[in-house]
Structure 1
Amino acid sequence: MGATLRALRALVLLFGFYLLSLVLLGALAGLDIALFTWGHGPVALKVAIVSVLLAIPVVQGMFMLRTPRGEEPAGIAVTEAEEPRLWALVRDLAAATGTRAPGRIVLTADVNAAVSERSRLLGLLRGPRRLYLGMPLLTGLTEAQLRAVLAHEYGHFSGGDTRLSALVVRGRAQIGRVIGQFHERADGKVATERARQEAASAKRVAKGKKAKTVDTRGTGATYRTMAAIYTAYGKLYLRASLSTARAQEYAADLAAARIAGRDATASALREIPVLAASHDFYLDSYATLGLPAQLLPPRGEFFGGFGRLLSAREGELRKLRGELPTEPASPYDSHPPIADRVHRIEALPADGRTEEAKGAALALLTDPRRTLAVLEDTVLTDEVLAFPRTGAWEELLDASMAKGLSSARTPLHRALADYTGQPPTLAVLVEVIDGGRLWQLAERMPLSEQAAAAKGRAFREFVRPRLGEALRTMVLAEFSARSLLHWEFSWSRPAAVRLPGWASQNTPDDGPEAALEAAVDAALADHPDTAPLRGLLPPTPQPA
């Protein structure tokens, strides 16, 4: 489908929204006229009021005069003087695709690259362009792969894909606004009706009567019906507009392969989903590790550590590159399945460009470490930036885990405090176990239906795993409080706890961790023995 036909489709879809709105307004007006012509009294007046209330969101949606602009991602704008190699690459690719280069480059913290244009008059007049380029892409891609990614983005402009795209955005926004207003009004009606019924029930209870069950199932049904009508059209709108978008993605991929090479384009398509998943994991497991303890990694490492993770886990990432999604994320996904896109590119004839630009894309930057540090200042909140920084990742891990253990409150902690009326410490738990009251304590923990119904040995087997996990946490917290615990930091595997004396042991099987497991098992046995548990901890120093 050519650009002109795509623009025509966008106009038809937008006019369809206005036509639907006019039909609904006409139906409401016709209903009012019929009632006032052939009917009288409070019923006609009530229906007229309802029709006016229903018409308000429709009219407001129709007269949304400005197309909303998406929120720009936070980042740092870099000039040509600051990053000459990056700017040269961007300009060369724009020329190769036959389109305008952006007037501004913004480096972001997202796994994404996008070229946006602030056009006017729904795309009839060109506007300034910006390139948003994620530092995780620069960190994880080669220069050839980055060329393919940028050539793909430029391919949308050279193919006319973005012409009058504001029409599509405007239609989506208007339909979404109308649906949202109808749901908001329906929810308001439900809240009002619920409050009324609860107040009436309270009065009945005060008079010694039985309270009635609150029932709001039919409340707001008229608003939800109107929302359902627009939702149905919205689905049609999205399916029609996004089917064209998927075809545009295929065309942009071909443009990328022509400019950057077949192999670089296919490998970039394989790499981006892997980088996105890896970056999410990195942020959750590494970058934000110290936030509960209000600590930050060394300056520049909040985003800079991502490269270390990629290098350390190359084996895992290699497997992920072969596991491509074969289905769209949803029927309304604007992109085809990544596996289909890769296979289309890999089916192209070889072009002999396999060895081009295999160096890291991050090397395009003049001073990557400085850029990563400045990005932290731009993206992180002032509150987070005020946190102290640790000197190394190992220090960050130790401090974070110590904070987590000191504030741990497992179901066993809560049950122990409730059962004894004392602070839930390891010493108090040992006293309970020595007193033969462990299983009475376990009955106060949240239990599954099977555990709650079980008795004797069956009950003990059901609750023992949860007790073991909580007891390990209490022991580790005790070690941590006495500064006897160390955590081994690793980019390639989960953090491992190292207990006192580990370095003196030859194998893990006879080290303190094995002793901890044996002590926990002994304490939770049918005939408990807490001596191994007590023996793990050095005696508490007594005051002189």
Structure 2
Amino acid sequence: MGATLRALRALVLLLGFYLLSLLLLAALVGVDIAAFRWGHGPAVAKLGFVTVLLAVPVVRGMFMLRTPRDEDGPGIDVTEADEPRLWALVREVAAAAGTRAPDRIRLTGEVNAAVSEDPRLLGLLPGPRRLYLGVPLLTGLTQAQLRAVLAHEYGHFTGGDTRLSALVVRGRVQLGRVIAQFHERADGKVAAERAKQERASAKRVARGKKAKKVDASGSGVSYRMMAAIYDQYAKLYLRASLSTARAQEFAADQVAARIAGRDAMAATLREIPVLSASHDFYLDSYATLGLGARMLPPRGEFFGGFGKLLTARAQELEGLRTELPKEPASPYDSHPPIAERVRRIEALPADGRADEATGPALAVLTDPARTLAALEDAVLTDEVLGYGRATGWPELLDASMASGLSSAQTPVHRVLAARTGQPATLAALLEVVDAGGLWQLAEQLPLSAEAKAARGRAFREFARPVLHRSLRTMVLAEFSARSLLTWDFSWSGPAAVRLPGEAAATGAGGQNPEEALEAALDAALADHPDTTALRALLPPAPQPV
């Protein structure tokens, strides 16, 4: 579909919103006319009041004349003086695509690249252009793949997609605004009716009568019915606009393959979902590891550590490049499935450009370390930036694990605190065990229905894993509180705990600290519990000064 036809479709969809609104207003006016002609009494006035209330969100939605501008989001703008190599590459690819280069480049903290334009007259005239480049994306791509990303984004410029988006966005925003207003008013009616019924119920109770059940589900029905009408048109609008958006993605992929090469574009499409999943994992497991301890990675490493993770897990990530998503992320995702996009690109004839620009894309930046540090200042909140800085990742891990263990609340913690009325401690738990109360305490744990129905040995087998996890956590917390625990940091796997005495563990014929701890835990949770071995492993309590 050409740009003219796509513009016509976008315009028709937008006009459809206004037509629907006019029809609904006409229907409301018709109801009022019929009521005043054939009705009489207070009911007519009440109906007229209701139709006016229903008309207000419709009229407000129709006269939302200004399309909200996109928020830039957190990031750093870079000038040509800041990043001459990046700007040279951006202009080179723009010239190859036959389009005007962006006026601004903004570096962000996301695994994403995007372009936008602020056109005039609803997209009829061009406007300033912006390019958004995620630094984590640059971290994981080669320079050839970066060219492919830029060429794909410029494909949206050459196809007029960024200019036409003003029409599509305006309709989407107006529909969302009207629907939100109707739902907001419906929720307000429900809340008011619920409060009214609760007050009436309280008065009945005060008079010694039985309280009535509060049910406000019937309130706001007219508002929800109006919202449902717009919901149906919104679904049609999204399906129609998304079919166009997905066609635009395929067309932009073809532009990228022509400029950057077939193999580079196919490799880029395979790489982006891998980088996205890896970055999510990195943020959860590494970058934000110390937030609970109010500690950040070393300066520049909040984003900079991502490259180390990719290097350490290169073999693991290789398998993900062949497992491409075959369905869109959601029914309303503007991008087609990655698997289909790759299939179309790899079906193109070979162009002999497989080995171009294999260096890391991050190298196009003048000073990557400086950029990574500046990005932290732009993306992280002022509160987080006020946290302390670890001298290295191992220190960050130690601080995080110590903080987590000190605040751990296992099922045994909660049951023990409820039983004793005091904060749960390992010493208190061992006293309960020595007094023969372990299995009575276990009966209060949140177990499955099958476990709760079991008796005797069967019940103990169900409860023992929960007890074991909780008791181990409490023991590790005790070691940590005495600064006796360290953790082995790894980019390629989960952290491993190093128990006291592990550095001087006995030979093959002896028992290392991990084995000794497991044996002591097993003894404390046996059918006939014995805490002697566990108490022998624990550090002595600090003596009062």
Task: Verify same fold: TM over 0.5.
Answer: yes
Partner residue, 1:71:
71
CA distance in structure 1 between the partners assigned to 2:161 and 2:173 by the alignment: 19
- TM-fit CA distance, 1:473: 0.6
AA aligned to 1:387 is: Y
Does the aligned pair in 2 maintain the 1:290–1:397 contact within 8 Å? yes
Letter in 1 for 2:245: A
The alpha-carbon deviation at position 284 of structure 1 amounts to 0.7
The Cα shift of 1:491 comes to 0.4
Residue matched to 1:272? 272
Q: Aligned equivalents of 1:423 and 1:90: distance in 2?
A: 61
Structure 1 residue 493: Cα displacement: 0.3
CA separation in 2, counterparts of 1:217 and 1:507?
70
Tell me the residue number matched to 2:248: 248
1:209 has 2:212 as partner: no
Aligned-residue identity in percent = 76
Deviations along 1:437-470, one digit per CA (max 9) or x if unpaired, are: 1122223333332333333333222222111111
Matched, 1:533 2:530: no
SS of residue matched to 2:161: coil
TM-score (norm 2): 0.98
1:43, distance to aligned residue in structure 2 (A)? 1.2
Report the AA paired with residue 320 of structure 1: L
2:390 aligned partner: 390
Partner Cα separation in structure 2 for residue 139 and residue 195 of structure 1: 55
Partners of 1:114 and 1:131 within 8 A in 2: yes
Q: 1:62 to 1:508 in 2, by over 3 A?
A: farther
Query: CA 1:125–1:378 in 2, change beyond 3 Å: closer, same or farther?
Result: same
Question: What residue is the counterpart of 1:489 in the other structure?
Answer: 489
Q: How many residues align?
A: 544
1:452 corresponding residue in structure 2: 452
Any idea what the Cα deviations from partners look like across 1:186-229, whole Å, max 9, x if unmatched? 11111111111111121222222221111122111111111010
> AA paired with 2:477?
A
Code of the residue aligned with 1:135 in structure 2: it is V
Whole-Å Cα distance in 1 between the matches of residues 492 and 223 of structure 2? 54
1:122 corresponds to which residue? Answer: 122
- Asked if residue 520 in structure 1 is aligned to residue 533 in structure 2, the reply is no
What residue in structure 1 maps to residue 328 of structure 2?
328
CA distance in 2 between counterparts of 1:279 and 1:88 reads: 28
SS in 2 for 1:398: helix
Offset, 1:542: 3.5
Moved more, 217-226 or 419-428: 419-428
Amino acid at match of 1:274: V
Report matched runs for 1:62-461 at 5 Å. 62-461=62-461
What SS does structure 1 have at the residue aligned with 2:285?
A: helix
Letter of the structure 1 residue corresponding to residue 386 of structure 2: A
- Structure 2 match to 1:498: 498
Which stretch has the larger CA shift, 453-462 or 424-433? 453-462
> How many angstroms apart in 2 are the aligned matches of 1:510 and 1:303?
41
Residues in 2 aligned to 1:448 and 1:326: alpha-carbon distance in whole angstroms: 37
Write the distance in 2 (CA, Å) between the matches of 1:234 and 1:463.
52
Secondary structure of 1:458's aligned partner: helix
Residues 1:122 and 1:507: Cα distance change in structure 2 (over 3 Å): farther
Deviation of the 1:160 alpha carbon: 2.2
Q: How far apart in 2 are the matches of 1:507 and 1:295? A: 39
Q: Contact (CA 8 Å) 1:508, 1:514: kept in 2 or not?
A: no
Give yes or no for contact 2:126–2:163 (8 Å, CA) kept in 1. no
Contact 2:139 2:360 in 1 (8 A): yes
5+ long unaligned stretches in structure 1:
none
Aligned 8 A contact 1:287 1:297 in 2: yes
Greater Cα offset, 153-162 or 501-510: 501-510
Q: CA deviation at 1:378?
A: 1.1
Per-residue CA deviations over 1:133-187 (Å, capped at 9, x if unaligned) read: 0001110000000000010000111122233320110000000101000110111
Amino acid at match of 1:311: T
Asked whether the 8 Å contact 1:393–1:489 carries over to 2, the reply is: yes
**Secondary structure of the corresponding residue to residue 404 of structure 1:** helix
User: 2 CA distance for matches of 1:528 and 1:497?
Assistant: 26
Distance 1:483 1:286, change over 3 A: same
Deviations 1:296-341 (A, max 9, x none): 1110001100000000000111011111000112221111100000
CA apart distance, 1:481: 0.4
Tell me, yes or no, if the aligned pair for 2:78 and 2:106 is still in contact at 8 Å.
yes
Judge which range, 349-358 or 329-338, deviates more: 329-338
Partners of 1:511 and 1:345 in 2: CA distance: 56
> SS of the counterpart of 1:483?
coil
Query: TM-score, normalized by length of structure 1?
Result: 0.98
| Contact 1:147-1:260 within 8 A present in 2 as well | yes
In the alignment, residue 200 of structure 1 is paired with which amino acid? A
Deviates more, 1:297-306 or 1:77-86: 77-86
Aligned partners of 2:508, 2:280: CA distance in 1, in Å? Answer: 34
Task: Give the Cα separation in 2 of the matches to 1:66 and 1:136.
Answer: 34
Root-mean-square deviation (Å): 1.4
Change (3 A) 1:209 1:472: same
Paired letter, 2:472? R
CA distance in 1, matches of 2:104, 2:72: 13
Separation in structure 2 between the aligned mates of residue 238 and residue 543 of structure 1, nearest angstrom: 70
Structure 2 CA distance for aligned equivalents of residues 377 and 125 of structure 1 = 36
Q: Report deviation, 1:508.
A: 12
Uncovered stretches (5+) of structure 2, i.e. residues with no partner: none
